[in-house]
Chains A and B, each alone.
Chain A
Amino acid sequence: DADVTQTPRNRITKTGKRIMLECSQTKGHDRMYWYRQDPGLGLRLIYYSFDVKDINKGEISDGYSVSRQAQAKFSLSLESAIPNQTALYFCATSASRRGWETQYFGPGTRLLVL
């Protein structure tokens, strides 16, 4: 089984709709992240959470909100979807240890906003 799972894998929605993307991890990591990927722009950080009670805005948080329901679950919501939020969304996790720790990415959610 995958260590970092994302649901749904694909989603088509209409402008103005509220949608939620979910992320779960079995790695036991306390840090979780949401990124979006657009062609040619790499990954950009939307929100990150270092533990259940610690949530921070990333580079492009406008139009998004998050919820850390448990150490293993981190959800991303688009309150009112717009077409320029069409992108590939990735959840990632990392451990908080001394020294640098890699981030482990989920398989992604492909979102299309019509």
Chain B
Amino acid sequence: QKEVEQDPGPLSVPEGAIVSLNCTYSNSAFQYFMWYRQYSRKGPELLMYTYSSGNKEDGRFTAQVDKSSKYISLFIRDSQPSDSATYLCAMSVNNAGNMLTFGGGTRLMVKP
């Protein structure tokens, strides 16, 4: 069993829909949670970062962490075709060295 599980998709939604992307994990020591966005033929770029449990909002994006359930989510409101990409969750035990454990990524397609 992988430490971080993520549905590979693809997830196809119409423009304007609310998108929910999720990851589950098994290591209760994870404290730092990230979402990366990766466009085709590009490197991943950090989208959201949260520490421990709770919610964090940034424009149309909301990251949610539920440590009791070992479950994290990324919500995208008013999705746009430009949001079409692969979304990778990543986690870290501490902030000393940035050792990240990645999920497999979910491919999202937003259709006009």
Interface residues of A (CB under 8 A from B): 4, 31, 40-45, 48, 50, 90, 92, 94, 99-108
Q: List 8 A-B contacts (CB under 8 A).
A: A42-B4, A43-B102, A90-B44, A100-B98, A102-B46, A102-B98, A103-B100, A107-B42
Known A42-B4, A100-B49, A100-B98; further 8 A-B contacts with Cβ < 8 A: A40-B105, A42-B6, A42-B104, A43-B90, A48-B99, A92-B43, A102-B98, A107-B42
**Given that A103-B100, A106-B43 are contacting pairs, would A40 and B95 also be in contact in the complex, using a CB cutoff of 8 Å?**
no
Whether B102 contacts A44 by the Cβ 8 Å rule is yes
**Given that A94-B98, A100-B32 are contacting pairs, would A42 and B43 also be in contact in the complex, using a CB cutoff of 8 Å?**
no
Which of A31, A90, A107, A108 is the one whose CB lies under 8 Å from B98?
A31
Residues of B near A108 (CB, < 8 A) are: 41-43
The 10 A-B residue pairs whose C-beta atoms are closest, nearest first, are A105-B43, A42-B102, A100-B95, A102-B46, A43-B102, A42-B104, A40-B104, A105-B44, A94-B98, A107-B43
Q: Interface size bucket, B side?
A: 20 to 34
Residues of A near B95 (CB, < 8 A) are: 99-101
Interface: B51 (CB within 8 A) = yes
Closest chain-A Cβ to B100's Cβ sits at a distance in Å of 7
Roughly how many angstroms separate A4 CA and B43 CA in the complex, as a whole number?
Answer: 10
Interface string of B14-49 (1 = CB under 8 A from A): 000000000000000000101000000111111001
Whether B104 contacts A45 by the Cβ 8 Å rule is no
Closest chain-B Cβ to A103's Cβ sits at a distance in Å of 6
